[in-house]
Amino acid sequence: MDEVNNTGSTPHGSLPPRPPAKSLPSVSRLFPHRSRTEDENRATNVSFRQADNSVLQSPHYNQSSGELYFDQCFRVERRLGAGSFGEVFKVQSKEDGGYYAVKRSRDRFRGESDKRRKLEEVKKHESLSKHPNCVEFYKAWAERGHLYIQTELCKMTLQSYAEQNHKIPEHILWSFLVDLIQGLHHMHSHGLLHLDIKPENIFISFDKVCKLGDFGLSVQMNERDFTDAQEGDPKYLAPELLQGHFGMHADVFSLGITIFELASDLELPRNGDSWHDLRRGRIPWQLTAGISSDLKGLIKSMMNPDFQKRPSLAELMETSVVQRTIAWQRRKRALCRMWNKFQGFLSLLFTLLSAAVFKILSPSKHSMNQDEIDAPVIKHRHPSSWDLSFSDDEIFESDISHGSLGCPLGSLSFSSEEDACNIQHTKPIHNRRPVSPGFEVPGLSFSSCNIWSVEDLGALCQEWSW
């Protein structure tokens, strides 16, 4: 028996056991193994509120199908935009029929660290409670190495609005600024820095409200290590970020220079002397003709080169001009809501009145036309009180070329009772001749007429329009 060393288990003269292959997952004898590729191909829910990221469930999603969850559960209307981080689509949900925006990451996950970094956007968005000036988050999922984020759909970006409107009135600039101040203050109150405020990441809703969106570069303020933080667009970048000074003041600068760009209709420089001049307080106010001193003073304070002297968002909200704008916005939106309700009431009232008028003017299914009421009803027998006497001339002057016969009188002889009650003449009678006993008419055979006079037959002809 081989000698065992002090460490315990490996015999002398034998090779050490091979380490398990790092590329192969451990195998369990109790639970069936599911490969990593199989997990990535399924649409798994991404949420930091739930401990279990389970497979998404939807009546329109078939896991065994080769189609993506995105293609099975949404109808893509059009692509709204694309950037370095991904592309955004306007979609309609097949489940509830609503319209949403879905952002899909451009590249697949390049390992676990890259996946965690991309999922941080979901974590930040989920931690932010609902606010009218922040784009609403609905859900996120991962499938085949890509991240999908479903959010509220807005009408356009602020960048698109600025491209369509080069002379924006000042009252609209104030409305945009106050909306963004409130949205950014909401983010900061939840401990989030946006760090990428620019017109492309600001959205205008269908009721003309500005909303902050795209939290891909946002970071937590309580984090002490900002080495993984990424810089935003250099055109809107605060100068202190280049020295590593992260804080709420950086978002205040980016918001201020964004409003200055809208007010001046200026294409901001990405670098060079003009870029440094704007960050040294040398602002070309001559490009902002027609802008009030209040707005200029607010923009100047937000773009102060010394970030410690910039006003905070709480201080900006306490200024009189911002308070007046907030009060004006509330009154305006309350009136808009009342007007929309009034329009809905008028639409409903018009629909009810139209239905009532149609009900009154349309003929009832139980009513009959007067002509139908007065139409002659064929009788099987005549009352004995009728006077059926006519002269010979009146008999042959009557037009008997058309008409129909009713059921026969009791003295008339027919081949059958059914023939007698369903007699119709399709050919008019043109050859008029005296009527005599035993005469024949096409379709009728009178075997005995000796009890009828010529006057009686004439009366019958006129009465039954034969």
Question: Looking up tokens 């981080």, which residue turns up?
Answer: 85
Taking residues 160-168, report their average pLDDT.
91
Instruction: Summarize pLDDT for 312-344 with one digit per residue, the tens.
Output: 999 999 898 889 988 888 888 788 888 888 888
Could you tell me which of 68, 71, 76 has the C-alpha nearest to residue 92?
76
Taking residues 386-400, report their average pLDDT.
48
Buried b / exposed e along 69-105 (16+ C-beta atoms within 10 A): bbeebbeeeeebeeeebbebbbbebeeeeeebbbbbb
462-465 long-range contacts (CB < 8 A, ≥24 apart) are 462/390, 462/394, 462/398, 463/382, 463/388, 464/403, 464/404, 464/405, 464/406, 465/400, 465/402, 465/403, 465/404
Confidence of residue 398 (pLDDT cuts 50, 70, 90): very low
How many CB atoms are closer than 10 A to CB 196?
Answer: 21
pLDDT at 36 over 70: no
pLDDT for position 225: 60
Domain boundary assignment for the chain: 36-153, 156-318, 392-464
Pull the structure tokens for residue 121: 């956007």
Taking residues 33-61, report their average pLDDT.
65
Taking residues 95-102, report their average pLDDT.
92
Taking residues 393-416, report their average pLDDT.
45
pLDDT at 30 over 50: no
Taking residues 199-213, report their average pLDDT.
93
pLDDT for position 3: 46
pLDDT for position 445: 45
The two domains 36-153 and 156-318 share their CATH topology (first three levels equal): no
Could you tell me which of 200, 193, 115, 118 has the C-alpha nearest to residue 156?
200
Question: Among the listed ranges 117-121, 198-202, 222-226, which one has the minimum average pLDDT value?
Answer: 222-226
pLDDT at 182 over 90: yes
Instruction: Summarize pLDDT for 416-464 with one digit per residue, the tens.
Output: 444 444 444 444 444 444 444 444 444 444 444 445 555 655 665 555 4
The whole-chain average pLDDT of the chain stands at 75
- Residue 450, SS3 per DSSP: coil
CB 464 within 8 A of CB 400: no
Taking residues 5-28, report their average pLDDT.
46
Higher pLDDT, 372 or 221: 221
pLDDT for position 440: 46
Question: How far apart (Å, rounded) are the C-alpha atoms in residues 361 and 367?
Answer: 13
Q: Catalytic amino acids?
A: 196
What DSSP string runs through 383-410?
-TT------HHHHHHS--SS-B--SPPT
Given CATH 3.30.200.20, say whether it is the number of domain 36-153. Answer: yes
Confidence of residue 58 (pLDDT cuts 50, 70, 90): confident
pLDDT for position 432: 46
Sign of CA dihedral 39, 40, 41, 44: positive
Whole-angstrom CA distances from 268 to 81, 265, 329 are 21, 9, 29
Taking residues 126-149, report their average pLDDT.
91
Question: How far apart (Å, rounded) are the C-alpha atoms in residues 428 and 436?
Answer: 20
pLDDT for position 416: 46
Confidence of residue 359 (pLDDT cuts 50, 70, 90): confident
pLDDT for position 249: 93
pLDDT for position 423: 42
pLDDT at 366 over 60: no
Look at strands 146-152 and 156-157 and give their pairing.
unpaired
CA angle (392 as vertex; 389, 395 as ends), nearest 5: 80
Output phi, psi for 239, to 5 deg. -65, -30
CA angle (36 as vertex; 35, 38 as ends), nearest 5: 70
Question: How far apart (Å, rounded) are the C-alpha atoms in residues 295 and 260?
Answer: 9
Pull the structure tokens for residue 107: 């590249």
Taking residues 247-271, report their average pLDDT.
92
Output phi, psi for 157, to 5 deg. -90, 160
Pull the structure tokens for residue 234: 């250099």
pLDDT at 395 over 70: no
Taking residues 249-275, report their average pLDDT.
93
Class of the 156-318 domain? Answer: mainly alpha
Q: Which amino acid is at 224?
A: R
- Residue 134, SS3 per DSSP: strand
What DSSP string runs through 263-302?
HHT----SSHHHHHHHHTT---GGGSTT--HHHHHHHHHH
Taking residues 275-284, report their average pLDDT.
91
Q: In what order do the strands lie in the sheet with 156-157?
A: 156-157, 202-204, 210-212
Higher pLDDT, 302 or 40: 302
CB 199 within 8 A of CB 261: yes
CB 460 within 8 A of CB 399: no
Confidence of residue 237 (pLDDT cuts 50, 70, 90): very high
Taking residues 185-192, report their average pLDDT.
92
CA angle (251 as vertex; 248, 255 as ends), nearest 5: 140
